[in-house]
Amino acid sequence: MIKGGFIGFGRMGITHYSILNSHPSVNITAVCDQSKTMLGIIKRDFGVAIYTDYQQMIEESDLDFVVISTPSDSHAEIIKHALDQNLHIFVEKPFALTPQEGLETLTHLRNKNLVTQVGYVNRFNEVFMEVKKLLA
């Protein structure tokens, strides 16, 4: 069983949670979000630890991976911290906001045997796939 945490629990966080929470080998144990309303619902209905500080969540939760679906300008900082804690990562697009920020973030991944994936959901959308094929 692998243990996961979610950083950001808006529309995409909830979407990824619903997919991963049904996997028999995944146990979602922690969620971090800034919305007190959302955290109240999570605490009441989901049975996971809740946090408003992602660093505290990572420190206290003994996780194997995190799903990052926060606002785009926070992705690089959170990714670097998670990599420094040897966590596997799934992050919503974009990975970083600038090429320089992306290169700096990738430096944190060097020499680590960790999975890092960026969610490009439209790449797998049938409509976008057909348009790409027609354009080619």
* Residue 80: CA count within 13 A, CB half-sphere: 12
The whole model's pTM is what?
Answer: 0.87
Measured distance CA(48)–CA(29) in Å, rounded: 5
Using one digit for the tens of pLDDT, what is the confidence trace for 66-120?
999 999 899 999 999 999 999 999 998 888 889 999 898 888 888 889 988 888 7
pLDDT at 7 over 90: yes
